């Protein structure tokens, strides 16, 4: 496999990871997370049981989880794509180990990805066995986004696309981009917490919540990370006040994200020294506005599944754009440090 083919395979993995994120969101939002009560099989089968006799038999084995083929297929298709992605990442890691560091081939990143996808598979199993425990569901969501982001970095690095040649002497762009990334990750986690606790429906109006700017809320119960064992979290277990607290916190997080990433976008568009960095700033701004629009549309249109899935997908694209922004500006600092070290080493050797 040549370096070009490795880069192409990495981009294939990025596309697969994005599909897995979308399918995971669709499965979760359409209440199909427990469409298969076991893992990795589905009612003990590699596919969803189809015959009436099999379904009748399984309904007796799983009386609390009768077979619902439509939901089971959503879950299994998600698993099929996730398994395929895992095999592709394994192939990328094996090739990286065999090639070593020739031609700037990353080795550490594919290894981290392989370890992460193994842990992600364990989270997928625990999501089912622990009956959609919100902490596990949120962790599974963040794991999917992390795999997508690291695959994107691997792909663009393998293809040399981060060698933008942009030198920006000021430090504020780097720290603003990093702050934006941290705030966005926290907001994505809040979105996962909102979804896993079925808190989206707690505020059916916008910009108010339940007709009030500050409705009755229970923040103490809203952010309990671990409840007692044996609870079935499908449909949620929190009170309306606790769910309202989660929803309002997510809205406040969206406002903070808009301010920070909006500032980064405008700052890069105005002050970036190259057209490429300005273009990344524009992309961040466009995706940010789309994300805010989709979030408002969710409430205004009564939380349709299609808009909710688009909200998740756009969040993934926004994350990739902010990761690219950070990779570009921080790479300049790494190059500067490497150049300084080379000059220093040359000076010492000449003494």
Backbone angles phi, psi at 209, to 5 degrees: -130, 115
Q: How far apart are the first and last CA of the chain?
A: 44
Predicted pLDDT of residue 215: 97
In the structure encoding, which two tokens stand for residue 53, read together? 């006799």
Where residue 228 falls (left for φ over 0; alpha for ψ -120 to 50; beta otherwise) is: beta
The residue assigned the tokens 């599944």 is 305
Q: What is the pLDDT of residues 164-193, one digit of tens each?
A: 545 567 788 999 999 999 999 999 999 999
Backbone angles phi, psi at 212, to 5 degrees: -130, 155
Give the span between the Cα atoms of 229 and 237, in whole angstroms: 13
Predicted pLDDT of residue 336: 45
Predicted pLDDT of residue 295: 97
Predicted pLDDT of residue 344: 47
Q: What is the pLDDT of residues 320-348, one digit of tens each?
A: 999 999 998 887 554 444 444 444 444 44
Taking only the tens of pLDDT, the chain with its 351 residues reads 567 889 999 999 999 999 999 999 999 999 999 999 999 999 989 999 887 677 778 878 888 888 899 999 999 999 999 999 999 999 999 999 988 766 667 889 999 999 999 999 999 999 999 999 999 999 999 999 999 999 999 999 888 776 654 556 778 899 999 999 999 999 999 999 999 999 999 999 999 999 999 999 999 999 999 998 889 999 999 999 999 999 999 999 999 999 999 999 999 999 998 888 999 999 999 999 999 999 999 999 999 999 999 999 999 999 999 999 999 888 755 444 444 444 444 444 444
In the structure encoding, which two tokens stand for residue 313, read together? 């997908």
Give the span between the Cα atoms of 22 and 313, in whole angstroms: 6
Tell me: cis bond preceding 40? Omega within 30 of 0 counts.
Answer: yes
The residue assigned the tokens 């209440």 is 31
Predicted pLDDT of residue 2: 67
Do 298 and 206 touch, CB atoms closer than 8 A?
no
Residues forming beta bridges with residue 209, ordered by sequence position: 212
The burial of 124, by beta-carbon neighbours within 10 Å (0-12 exposed, 13-18 middle, 19 or more buried), is given as buried
Q: Catalytic residue at 300?
A: no
In the structure encoding, which two tokens stand for residue 231, read together? 């609870």
Predicted pLDDT of residue 338: 42
Q: What is the pTM of this model?
A: 0.91
Given the residues 75, 167, 300, 338, the one annotated as active site:
75
Give the span between the Cα atoms of 272 and 227, in whole angstroms: 48
Q: What is the pLDDT of residues 20-57, one digit of tens each?
A: 999 999 999 999 999 999 999 999 899 998 876 777 78
In the structure encoding, which two tokens stand for residue 75, read together? 């879950």
Give the span between the Cα atoms of 118 and 114, in whole angstroms: 6
């Amino acid at each position: 496999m040549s370096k070009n083919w490795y880069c192409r395979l990495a981009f294939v993995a990025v596309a697969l990871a994005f599909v897995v994120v979308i399918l995971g969101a669709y499965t979760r939002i359409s209440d199909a997370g427990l469409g298969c009560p076991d893992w990795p099989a589905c009612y003990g089968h590699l596919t969803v049981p189809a015959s009436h006799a099999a379904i009748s038999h399984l309904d007796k084995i799983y009386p609390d989880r009768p077979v619902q083929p439509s939901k089971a297929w959503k879950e299994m298709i998600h698993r099929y794509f996730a398994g395929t992605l895992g095999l592709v990442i394994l192939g990328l890691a094996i090739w990286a180990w065999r090639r070593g560091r020739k031609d700037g081939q990353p080795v550490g990143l594919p290894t981290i990805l392989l370890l992460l996808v193994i842990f992600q598979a364990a989270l997928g199993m625990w999501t089912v066995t622990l009956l959609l425990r919100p902490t596990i569901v949120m962790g599974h969501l963040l794991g999917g986004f992390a795999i997508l982001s690291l695959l994107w970095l691997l792909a663009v690095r393998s293809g040399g696309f981060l060698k933008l040649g942009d030198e920006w002497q000021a430090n504020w762009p780097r720290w603003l981009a990093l702050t934006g990334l941290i705030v966005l990750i926290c907001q994505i986690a809040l979105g996962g917490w909102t979804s896993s606790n079925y808190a989206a429906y707690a505020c059916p109006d916008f910009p108010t919540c339940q007709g009030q700017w500050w409705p009755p809320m229970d923040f103490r119960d809203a952010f309990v990370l671990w409840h007692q064992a044996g609870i079935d979290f499908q449909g949620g277990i929190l009170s309306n006040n606790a769910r309202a607290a989660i929803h309002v916190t997510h809205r406040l997080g969206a406002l903070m994200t808009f301010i920070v990433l909006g500032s980064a976008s405008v700052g890069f568009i105005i002050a970036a020294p190259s057209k490429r960095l300005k273009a990344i700033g524009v992309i961040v701004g466009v995706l940010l506005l789309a994300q805010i629009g989709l979030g408002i549309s969710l409430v205004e249109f009564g939380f349709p599944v299609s808009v909710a899935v688009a909200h998740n997908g756009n969040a993934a694209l926004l994350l990739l754009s902010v990761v690219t922004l950070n990779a570009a500006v921080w790479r300049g600092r790494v190059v500067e440090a490497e150049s300084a070290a080379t000059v220093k080493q040359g000076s010492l050797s000449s003494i």
